[in-house]
């Protein structure tokens, strides 16, 4: 029997360490000299991961090593980039690709997520963090704008007034502030963060992968596409074997519970009759 090809060969990666499981991939930003800054090498490695997950959809968990998620883009590289580099959308292209992956993406954020690091987190479907979180977009202080998704994703996530405070006035959110505005949905101590990300991935993985993929796709389509796209996606799922198997399993469980409840009721009715019989015999 032929051995399936590996999902991804990350042995040559220099910025990311990668763990591949049957239903998920964990990508860890791991470059201490730049505090996990996002440079061209890391962008290229993320593209390789995206290519693999587009071929073979799985959940993606993104995290950082060394107590930090990502300090931002590599300023030394940014300093040398010119007009054509900006027009190429080096970071925005890969973040958009991450956002559009078929299965959900979880950002497990420890410590700083600034600039490009914040925009990477914004591209995820779920964001969980540690109490040491600092997240924001200080790009205007460097004479540039947050062009890799923050100018439009952030107002969708937290609303226009707060988005402007972050983008135009350099506000950096703490963990409690990010939790209060639902930019992150959970806070965990550093030693528990990865486990919490896997617990969330486990909850996702319990659902039908095709239904999850189509729900994510439909969710992100513009209002004008609804409800037609919902009906089309549902028509695909209505014909899937998983729908029949999962619904039959649900009906079987419901029937088993109903039968167990009926059996318990019968047993409760029989017990008093036995008690009365025993009482009469004792009296006699």
The predicted pLDDT at position 26 comes to 98
Residues 6+ apart with CB under 8 A from 260: none
Which of 97, 138, 122, 115 lies closest to 184, judged by CA? 122
Which of 216, 191, 178 lies closest to 60, judged by CA? 216
Instruction: Out of 45, 119, 160, 269, pick the active-site residue.
Output: 119
Read off the pLDDT band of 284 (50, 70, 90): low
Read off the pLDDT band of 281 (50, 70, 90): low
Share of the chain above pLDDT 70, in %: 93
Tell me the per-residue pLDDT of 65-122, one tens digit each, with 9 for 90 and over: 999 999 888 888 888 999 999 999 999 999 999 999 999 999 999 999 999 999 999 9
Q: Which is more confidently placed, 139 or 278?
A: 139
Instruction: Out of 54, 139, 189, 255, pick the active-site residue.
Output: 139
Active site residue 239: no
Q: Does residue 270 carry a pLDDT above 80?
A: no
The structure's pTM equals 0.90
Neighbours of 39 (CB within 10 A): 21
Read off the pLDDT band of 4 (50, 70, 90): low
Tell me the per-residue pLDDT of 150-199, one tens digit each, with 9 for 90 and over: 999 999 999 999 999 999 999 999 999 999 999 999 999 999 999 999 99
Enumerate domains of the chain plus CATH numbers: 16-205 (3.90.226.10), 209-238 (no CATH)
The predicted pLDDT at position 268 comes to 83
The predicted pLDDT at position 76 comes to 85
**Mode of pairing for the β-strands spanning 186-187 and 105-109:** unpaired
Query: Are 104 and 125 in contact, with CB atoms under 8 Å apart?
Result: yes
Tell me the per-residue pLDDT of 226-236, one tens digit each, with 9 for 90 and over: 999 999 999 99
Active site residue 54: no
């Amino acid at each position: 029997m032929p051995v399936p090809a590996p999902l991804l060969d990350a042995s040559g990666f220099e910025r990311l360490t990668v763990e591949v499981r049957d239903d998920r991939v964990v990508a860890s930003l791991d470059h201490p000299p730049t505090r996990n800054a996002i440079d061209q090498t890391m962008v290229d490695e993320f593209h390789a991961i995206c290519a693999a997950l587009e071929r073979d959809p799985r959940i993606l968990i993104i995290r950082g090593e060394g107590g930090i998620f990502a300090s931002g883009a590599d300023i030394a590289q940014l300093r040398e980039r010119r007009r054509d580099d900006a027009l190429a959308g080096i970071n925005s292209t890969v973040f958009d690709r991450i956002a559009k992956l078929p299965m959900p993406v979880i950002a497990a954020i420890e410590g700083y997520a600034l600039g490009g690091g914040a925009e990477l987190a914004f591209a995820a479907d779920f964001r969980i963090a540690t109490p040491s979180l600092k997240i924001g977009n200080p790009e205007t202080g460097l004479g540039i704008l947050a062009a890799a998704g923050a100018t439009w994703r952030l107002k969708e996530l937290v609303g226009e007034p707060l988005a402007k405070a972050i983008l135009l006035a350099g506000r950096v959110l703490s963990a409690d502030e990010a939790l209060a505005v639902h930019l992150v949905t959970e806070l965990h101590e550093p030693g528990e963060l990865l486990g919490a990300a896997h617990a969330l991935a486990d909850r996702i993985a319990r659902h039908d992968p095709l239904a999850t993929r189509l729900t994510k796709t439909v969710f992100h389509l513009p209002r004008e596409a609804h409800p037609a796209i919902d009906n089309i996606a549902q028509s695909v799922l209505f014909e899937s074997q998983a729908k029949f198997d999962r619904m039959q399993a649900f009906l079987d469980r419901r029937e088993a519970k109903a039968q167990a409840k009926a059996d318990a009721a019968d047993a409760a009715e029989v017990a008093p009759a036995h008690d009365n019989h025993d009482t009469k015999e004792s009296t006699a």
